[in-house]
Chain A
Amino acid sequence: MNNAVLNSRVASDPVSYDDSDSPQLIKLRGVVKSYNDGALTVMDHLDLDMHAHERLVIIGPSGSGKSSLLRVMMGLEGIQEGTIDFLGTQYITGTRNKPQKLDPRLQRQIGMVFQHYTLFPHLSVLGNLMLAPTKVHGWTKAQATERATQLLARLGLESKLHAYPSQLSGGQKQRVAIARALMLEPKLMLFDEVTSALDPEMVVEVQNVMLKLAEQKMAMIIVTHDMHFARHIATRVVFCANGKIVEQGPPEQIFTNPKEARTREFLEKVVIFD
């Protein structure tokens, strides 16, 4: 393992893992984002590379802006400085803090699932899945229904096709939300603390769906507080604090033998080492 990997601030020539056969998905360079006129910096000249087969889990103390990267990638928030490339094309540039209009052809390659339930309550499960494909991307109803039915079957929700969100459990809602984000066959999935709002007994069913996606080589960026799950699903764990990447590497290394004192300190608070 090349040591430069572990410190993203060696920015002039960031080194990726030796998997050059899989294409580069994301490239962040010098990304700066702060709130309240710079009072709170959540991304401080951040550099990050990600390849198509990777599953990044971002961990770190609350308020360290873990979700910000996901929200920026999705076009929900803007950045002040730096550039983000997606699929080899410049996707976001830092100008102002406001979200900029992102190239819809690139944006549609990204799916996102949120912490809170975001299924639209006035639409059935099928209606939720069909909305974007039919209204935005010109699919026919038949095409969208077919894809939705397949997806739901894969997630064990085929019986819920015509149910309304209010009739679903929390775990089912999140699984449907994942299915909705998968409708357009994204190249990258973003998971923003998707199990945090769930009762414990429902966490596993959602995590199993994510593991299934992992088996299918879906690229993901996951923000979670569940270190056990992080260790299980990640190909790389990124520990962030104060807007900087403190340490990153394979889960075994981060969780059993962290190099940085700051990482150790954080992990001692949240994990029971065995």
Chain B
Amino acid sequence: MEYQLDFAFLSGSAPDLLEGLWVTVRLAIAANAMGLTLGFALCLMAMSHWALVRWPAQMFIEFFRCTPALLQIIWFFYCLPFLFEVYIDPIPMGILALGLNLTAFNAEAYRAGVQAVPRDHLDASIALGLRPWQRTIYVVLPQALRSAMPVLMTNGISILQQSALVAIVAVGDLMYVGKDIATQNYRPLETYTLVALIYFLLSLPIARLAHVIERRQDAVVER
């Protein structure tokens, strides 16, 4: 192979890369904040006794689970402004698209966690006089959160990866900046390798942490 690897030129692009990285981190954190909170609310709706509440929630979940994330993002960027005449800045729009996608996946993770709460615990909380919303907040949510945590973290990492898709609609994230640098310098190999490495290093600690939490949970399985 005659190709000479040259990573040196990338040092000049460091400020751009950092800026892109910062956008990516913001996208990931904000989408996760949305996914963790709205995901639980959506999970409760999807498990509601009332069909009128349950159905829309289930439709929402299935829509996001059964269409490509790339398509969802493109749809949000092109069709939402067209249909509703709302114009949102690219980054908030990216957060919205990614966050709603994560909300749907997290709702499913929470549901498994809620279903894992023993029936006897609900009986006990009724016996203690807790009202329905108090049961949800003080008994169900903490236990569901705990058992869903590894999946929630895995979903959180995967939305970090998926956030690269917003580059396609010109949000200046890490992927977008990388693509820019690669084409300007005719050095896609070095650039994309470095960008991949950054995504990898960002995700790896979280993935390891999720693994540790899962192992610890297995160790203290009780009941």
Comparing B30-38, B134-142, B158-166, the segment that makes contact with chain A is B134-142
Complex Cα distance A114/B142, Å?
21
Q: Kindly identify which residue among B121, B125, B129, B134 contacts A107, using a CB–CB cutoff of 8 Å.
A: B129
A192's closest neighbor in chain B, by CB? B123
Q: Kindly identify which residue among A75, A114, A135, A177 contacts B138, using a CB–CB cutoff of 8 Å.
A: A135
B119's closest neighbor in chain A, by CB? A116
Does the CB pair B129–A104 fall under 8 Å? yes
Does the CB pair B222–A165 fall under 8 Å? yes
Complex Cα distance A135/B223, Å?
25
Does the CB pair A122–B128 fall under 8 Å? no
B2 at interface by CB-CB < 8 Å: no
Complex Cα distance A122/B143, Å?
7
B221's closest neighbor in chain A, by CB? A166
- Answer whether A122 and B142 are a contact pair too, CB < 8 Å, given A114-B120, A116-B118, A166-B222: yes
Q: Name the interface residues of A167-184: CB closer than 8 Å to any CB of B.
A: 177, 180-181, 184
B198 at interface by CB-CB < 8 Å: no
B219's closest neighbor in chain A, by CB? A166
Does the CB pair A132–B143 fall under 8 Å? no
Does the CB pair A132–B123 fall under 8 Å? no
Q: 1/0 per residue B58-81: CB within 8 Å of A?
A: 000000000000000000000000
Contacts of B223 in A (CB 8 A): 116-117, 121
| Shortest beta-carbon distance from B124 to chain A in Å | 4
Chain B interface, >50% SS class: helix
A111 at interface by CB-CB < 8 Å: yes
Complex Cα distance A181/B128, Å?
7
| Shortest beta-carbon distance from A200 to chain B in Å | 20
Contacts of B128 in A (CB 8 A): 131-132, 136, 180-181
- With an 8 Å Cβ cutoff, the count of chain B residues facing the other chain is 21
Q: Name the interface residues of B97-141: CB closer than 8 Å to any CB of A.
A: 118, 120-121, 123-131, 134, 138-139
| Shortest beta-carbon distance from B43 to chain A in Å | 18
Does the CB pair B220–A166 fall under 8 Å? yes
A168's closest neighbor in chain B, by CB? B222
Complex Cα distance A107/B131, Å?
12
Q: Name the interface residues of A103-148: CB closer than 8 Å to any CB of B.
A: 104, 107-108, 110-112, 114-118, 120-123, 131-132, 135-137
- Answer whether A135 and B130 are a contact pair too, CB < 8 Å, given A120-B139, A166-B220, A166-B222: yes
Does the CB pair A108–B127 fall under 8 Å? no
Contacts of A166 in B (CB 8 A): 220, 222
| Shortest beta-carbon distance from B182 to chain A in Å | 48
Does the CB pair B121–A112 fall under 8 Å? no
- Answer whether A76 and B126 are a contact pair too, CB < 8 Å, given A118-B120, A120-B121: yes
A219 at interface by CB-CB < 8 Å: no
Does the CB pair B139–A114 fall under 8 Å? no
Complex Cα distance A118/B129, Å?
14
Complex Cα distance A111/B130, Å?
13
A74 at interface by CB-CB < 8 Å: yes
Q: Kindly identify which residue among B123, B138, B139, B222 contacts A76, using a CB–CB cutoff of 8 Å.
A: B123
Complex Cα distance A123/B218, Å?
18
Contacts of A76 in B (CB 8 A): 123, 126-127
| Shortest beta-carbon distance from B175 to chain A in Å | 39
Does the CB pair A111–B127 fall under 8 Å? yes
Contacts of A115 in B (CB 8 A): 120
Contacts of B211 in A (CB 8 A): none
Contacts of A117 in B (CB 8 A): 120, 222-223
Does the CB pair B142–A75 fall under 8 Å? no
Q: 1/0 per residue A49-74: CB within 8 Å of B?
A: 00000000000000000000001001
B146 at interface by CB-CB < 8 Å: yes
- 8 closest Cβ contacts across the A-B interface? A118-B124, A132-B128, A122-B142, A112-B127, A116-B120, A166-B222, A118-B120, A136-B129
Residues of A within 8 A of B (CB): 71, 74-76, 104, 107-108, 110-112, 114-118, 120-123, 131-132, 135-137, 165-166, 177, 180-181, 184
Q: List 25 A-B contacts (CB under 8 A).
A: A71-B123, A75-B126, A104-B129, A108-B129, A111-B127, A114-B120, A114-B123, A114-B124, A116-B118, A116-B120, A117-B223, A118-B121, A120-B121, A120-B138, A121-B222, A131-B130, A132-B128, A132-B129, A135-B130, A135-B138, A136-B130, A137-B129, A177-B124, A180-B128, A184-B129
